[in-house]
Amino acid sequence: MTRTLTSVLGNSQRLDGGAMFGNAPKALWTRWATPDSQNRIPLSCRALLVREAGRTVLLETGIGNFFEPRLRERFGVVEEQHVLLERLDELGAPHDQIDIVVLSHLHFDHAGGLLSSFDDGAQLLFPKATFIVGEAAWDRARSPHPRDRASFLPALNEQLAASGRLHIVPEPAPGAPARTEVLGDDWCFHVSHGHTPGLLATEIAMPDGPVVFAADLIPGTPWVHAPITMGYDRYPERLIDEKTALLSDLVRRHGRIFYTHDPQTALSSVEHDARGRFVATRPLATLDELAR
């Protein structure tokens, strides 16, 4: 079966650098990202388009353009248009022809692109797609904790539930990958609970080794360093354990990581350096039809 992977940039955003790097001191994280006058760093919202026999699959939709102007300014969303929709059109894969959308979790900067722009009423797009989300992630989105309630969009949850096209991936046995018949046997999910309960890191089989869409488990190359976490992570110590297990597995299997938030790097390999630390290697700025 022929399969191609293409990176697709959506709307960008800026978030507080201290929040993005957790307990790492500013003197350290400014080696990786340059803050603006409000201490915010630039972040991409990068989706992954997978084209294979008979269907088109999109992994995530980024932040989109559903915010009213006041909130768009707060979160540093510069573009006034829905960038992801424009890029999908350019690639010959318009939103209304996407068959499956996989959502790692339902935070607004990963799922907000499912909605039309604020001026168009923020209505659910992708009219023929099946929407895939993990069981625990769906439960969390509908019943969030006060600490992360602002990260979710109740109106989006309502529209997803009403669509009749929402597919929930059950929680697997501890330590086992999750799978769904909607995608097939050569797709699986590494389920993570450190950033938010039930996050799905999608693994796609490719001839040179697997590609994992790591989402907020490893949002960019700086977070390949095992101790680096975000202030947004619900359980940082658990996340470090989950990340270490995934990275160790990818080193062993010559796998690669796809990054949703890294402004410079879409994909990299991962290796151990001379001190035994995980490092991102052979970075690619874009992914232009990586083929199987």
What CA–CA distance (Å, rounded) separates 222 from 235? Answer: 19
Q: What are φ and ψ of residue 141, in 5° steps?
A: -65, -35
Angle (nearest 5°) at CA 61 between 258 and 150: 105
pLDDT in tens, 248-262: 999 999 999 999 999
Name the token pair of 189: 């999910």
Mean pLDDT of 116-125: 95
Mean pLDDT of 71-86: 93
Helices (H), 190-276: 236-253
pLDDT at residue 186 is higher than 50: yes
pLDDT in tens, 261-285: 999 999 999 999 999 999 999 999 9
Total domain count, the chain: 1
pLDDT in tens, 122-151: 999 999 999 999 999 999 999 999 999 999
What is the pLDDT confidence band of residue 175, given thresholds at 50, 70 and 90?
Answer: confident
Mean pLDDT of 47-54: 96
Rounded percentage of the chain residues whose pLDDT exceeds 70: 98
Q: What is the pLDDT of residue 76?
A: 92
Residue 132 lies in domain: 3-291
pLDDT in tens, 231-252: 999 999 999 999 999 999 999 9
E strand segments, the chain: 3-9, 13-16, 40-43, 46-52, 55-59, 100-102, 130-134, 166-169, 187-192, 199-204, 211-213, 256-258, 267-272, 278-284, 290-291
**CATH, residue 21:** 3.60.15.10
What is the pLDDT confidence band of residue 286, given thresholds at 50, 70 and 90?
Answer: confident
Nearby residues of 91 by Cβ (< 8 Å), 6 or more positions away: 6, 8, 49
Mean pLDDT of 32-36: 97
pLDDT at residue 86 is higher than 50: yes
Helices (H), 69-153: 69-74, 83-90, 108-111, 135-142
CB burial of residue 262 (10 Å; 0-12, 13-18, 19+): buried
Q: What is the pLDDT of residue 289?
A: 56
Mean pLDDT of 112-131: 97
Mean pLDDT of 19-42: 97
Q: How crowded is residue 53: how many other Cβ atoms within 10 Å of its Cβ?
A: 7
Name the token pair of 273: 């350096």
Name the token pair of 195: 């950033």
pLDDT at residue 291 is higher than 60: no
What is the pLDDT confidence band of residue 290, given thresholds at 50, 70 and 90?
Answer: low
Amino acid identity for residue 262 in this structure: D
The distance from CA 89 to its chain's CA centroid, rounded to whole angstroms, is 21
CB burial of residue 170 (10 Å; 0-12, 13-18, 19+): exposed
Rounded percentage of the chain residues whose pLDDT exceeds 90: 93
Q: What is the pLDDT of residue 292?
A: 46
* Mean pLDDT across the chain: 96
What is the pLDDT confidence band of residue 228, given thresholds at 50, 70 and 90?
Answer: very high
How far, CA to CA in Å, does 151 sit from each of 12, 34, 148, 156, 292? 17, 24, 5, 12, 36
